[in-house]
Amino acid sequence: MPAKDATDIEELRVTANQTVQFLIDKKWSKHKALEVVQALCESTIDKLDKHVHLKYCTFNSSKIAAETGRLEGNSDADTRWLRGHIDSYHDFIASHREELAEHLAGSGVRQFLKISSSGSQGGNRNHFYIELGSTADSVLAEPDTSSKTSSSTITYQLRHLPKPRAWLRPILNFELKGWRRSFYVGFPLVVFIVGFLWFGWMFLSREYSQTSNFLLYAVGIYLLWMFFGAYYVLLTSRISDAPWWVIPFSVPSAQLEMRPSIATKPNGVSFRTVRLVRYGADCIVCGAPVHIVKGTGEFKGRLIGQCNENGVEHIFSFDHVSKKGVPLRSNAYYGSSDNRYGNNYKNQDD
């Protein structure tokens, strides 16, 4: 079965898409095997887009066979047929590892796509799923980092995010183009211009009786910033702490992220997409979940990683681009440990 929270969902999504594109670009002669890989990737991405947890993104052999036009209806025969094509895929990838590694590196992903099976037990059908396999970095022979650096660096991943409430979905995942971009840019400008003109009219006409109304307007602006300010922090930071009212109750923290989309403008520049995400990691000291929170005190104005078990000492920087972080305390212990809390969270959500 897929690892519950050990896989970066976005990296899996990009790796799946880019691997299929690589097979198409190479004009792979095994057309039916290519259809099998495409069916598994598309079915997985479709489930992830519907906020299905990765551990449930598995498919029995008959379903995948049917999606590629095979209608035998015999699960054992379908499994043997499917395994043959999956073996062909793995053989092809093994013979083109360096080319594929370079292709994937161009999209910022570092692992290969592997197709695995849960096996058949107790009369249950075989279930197949995609996962990230051996790293492509070793194929490209990139310089190794020192053991000191690797042991003191935390790696963040995109974690599973429960399906948001229906009425929130339009403002949690949208592309900034067309009327949405105009509204995003124009709304704060209109609010500012109205306030500026109102204040100017009060000053010039000496209608100070309007002061109470203007104060109400100022309070309204403050409330609007409390509810929607995180969307405009994205203009400079590209990531912000999501407001409390958009985060599912079962999730301790989530973020709004603005990243380039596939669609581009006529000048070749990508549009931007705003979406709700959830970054997390495992503490390099104790193994407990690390959540992304707003920094306070000396870390004010930053998003930081905070350990669930020791949020005072086990805190880390957070870079959503590299998905890396380093300890922020210079006088705390960040050495190796016996992973004291890791096993307690192994089989449960963060």
Q: For the chain, what are the domain ranges?
A: 9-143, 166-275, 278-345
- The mean predicted confidence, pLDDT, of the chain is 81
Please give the Cα distance from 130 to 11 (Å, whole number): 12
Say what percent of the chain tops pLDDT 90.
25
Q: What is the pLDDT of residue 49?
A: 81
Please give the Cα distance from 269 to 281 (Å, whole number): 32
Amino acid at 140: L
Please give the Cα distance from 239 to 258 (Å, whole number): 6
Q: Which residue has the higher pLDDT, 121 or 335?
A: 335
Q: How many CA atoms lie within 13 A of 16 on its CB side?
A: 23
Q: What is the pLDDT of residue 195?
A: 77
What residues contact residue 165 under an 8 Å CB cut-off, 6+ apart? 248
Q: What is the pLDDT of residue 282?
A: 92
Say what percent of the chain tops pLDDT 70.
83
Q: What is the pLDDT of residue 139?
A: 61
Query: Which long-range contacts link 296-305 to residues 24+ away (Cβ below 8 Å)?
Result: 299/328, 303/239, 303/240, 303/241, 303/255, 304/328, 305/154, 305/156, 305/281
Given a cut of 50, is residue 123 above it in pLDDT? Answer: no
Choice among 19-28, 146-155, 300-309 with the minimum mean pLDDT: 146-155
Strand duo 111-117 + 127-135: pairing: antiparallel
Q: Which residue has the higher pLDDT, 337 or 299?
A: 299
State the average pLDDT over residues 239-262.
87
Q: Which residue has the higher pLDDT, 236 or 217?
A: 236
Given a cut of 80, is residue 322 above it in pLDDT? Answer: yes
CA torsion through residues 99, 105, 110, 112, sign: negative
Q: What is the pLDDT of residue 6?
A: 53
3-state secondary structure string across 151-215? HCCEECEECCCCCCCHHHHHHCEEECCCHHHHHHHHHHHHHHHHHHHHHHHHHHHCCHHHHHHHH
Tell me the pLDDT tens digit for each residue of 170-222.
Answer: 888 888 888 888 888 888 888 888 877 877 777 677 665 667 777 777 788 88
Q: Which residue has the higher pLDDT, 143 or 92?
A: 92
Given a cut of 60, is residue 121 above it in pLDDT? Answer: no
Q: Tokens representing 318? A: 């957070």
State the average pLDDT over residues 270-293.
90
Q: What is the pLDDT of residue 246?
A: 87
